[in-house]
Structure 1
Amino acid sequence: MSSPAIDRDVVIADTVHWMEKAVIGLNLCPFAKAVHVKKQIRYVVSEAETPEELLEKLMEELQHLADADPERIDTTLLIHPNVLTDFFDYNEFLDVADAALEELGLDGFLQVASFHPDYQFADTDKNDISNYTNRSPYPTLHLLREDSIDRAVEAFPEASDIFDKNIENLEKLGHDGWDKLMEKP
């Protein structure tokens, strides 16, 4: 049974909305605004329907990012609405993503961060507001350059405090506030 057709424009628009309202708007990632404003984020919507197809696309995108000029493409969001929609399957795939980095010889040069509509940190309740720091509209693999992370951390000396501040902000916002924030105009 094949998945419904993907409207790439809608998927990207939903992801950009989430980036602008949550990631940048709530300052969940203080490093995101600069690459967003400079249009250095590559948004890729995968039509993969199996983990194997996604792995193939992931390896292609990892290599593309590694080969790209960082001034043009600093980071990539690989959005995959039709595969790994179950968070626990997605979470297991992250080991596969790390193995792909090693296989391509890009471990230590690039890394993969994770976002999912049902993201859940270990030892948290499914509905715990802290999980929303990593909740995106669609399952998404975020491909990052290690150099960019290092520069961002140097520019933001309290980088280790980001997670705690995010939890504090989300607790103040609450679920109703999050829902209002994510409403589309």
Structure 2
Amino acid sequence: MNSSNDNNTEMTSPAPSQVQQDTQFWLEKAVIGLNLCPFAKSVHVNNRLRYVVSSASTPEDLLKELARELLALNRADPDEIETTVLIHPQVLTDFLDFNDFLGAADALVEDLELAGELQIASFHPQYQFAGTEPEDISNYTNRSPYPTLHLLRESSIARATETMADTDAIYEANMQTLEKLGIEGWTALGLKR
């Protein structure tokens, strides 16, 4: 028998297919559409991005699933799966909790002896860089519809950055793009605030 809290969680939690669809929309409109990550388009267009929607409801369960996904990505052929997004809509919905979890996630990469092979990038609906206000447009570079861990191959990052003279220029261009767009422009694209 479910408690009323369980029922409320079920009613407010979107279906996994909706979570993936929302995340893919964000990727296409914001990450690729605004060119926030110049490396994302080819991975997306060539279908080498794996979406995993987690049903984890505790950080411990998410850590176990993260371990499975890190190992699976490491074993996968990069021509088939170059990167994975692990979306976890039911756990670490508070940004401070999510941010605290990132230390455990990075430690897991070390424990699995995958440091230098894989790394984790983080995205969250409430993402906030240190020294910024919650609604600063700069935070939107890392604002996703749901809490998300992006598992990346170090070799893919190295290949992508070889073609760029100045990778800091990506951050600077992103800030210019977002400042020009503003929060109104962000929501006009159909992206959640």
Alignment of 1:3-42 (within 5 A): 3-4=9-10, 5-42=13-50
CA distance in structure 1 between the aligned counterparts of 2:55 and 2:188, rounded to whole angstroms: 30
| 1:91-130 equivalence runs, <5 A | 91-130=99-138
Percent identical: 59
Deviations along 1:123-160, whole A, 9 cap, x unmatched? 00000000000000000000000000000001222322
CA-atom RMSD, angstroms? Answer: 1.2
1:137 to 128, 145, 149: 145
Listed one character per residue, the Cα deviations across residues 59-104 of structure 1 (whole Å, up to 9, x for unaligned) are 0000000000000000000000000000000000000000100110
Q: Is 1:88 aligned to residue 96 of structure 2?
A: yes
- Cross-structure match for 1:71: 79
Structure 1 residues 127 and 101: CA distance shift in structure 2, 3 A: same
1:183 Cα deviation after fit: 5.0
Moved more, 112-121 or 156-165: 156-165
Q: Which amino acid aligns with 2:121?
A: A
Say which SS state the counterpart of residue 182 (structure 1) adopts: coil
Amino acid at match of 1:134: N
Secondary structure, in 3 states, of the residue corresponding to 2:34?
coil
**Aligned mates of 1:66, 1:177 — CA distance in 2:** 38
**Paired positions, count:** 184
Cα distance 1:158–1:182, how it changes in 2: closer, same or farther (>3 A)? farther
2:54–2:62 contact (8 Å) kept in structure 1 = yes
Could you tell me the TM-score, scaled by structure 1's length?
0.97
Confirm or deny: 8 A CA contact 2:123 2:148 kept in the other structure.
yes
Bigger Cα Rg: 2
Question: Which range moved further: 156-165 or 26-35?
Answer: 156-165
SS at match of 1:113: strand
Task: List aligned pairs for 1:156-167, cutoff 5 A.
Answer: 156-167=164-175
Task: Give the whole-Å Cα distance in 2 for the aligned partners of 1:53 and 1:138.
Answer: 17
- Single out whichever of 158-167 and 65-74 deviates more from structure 2: 158-167
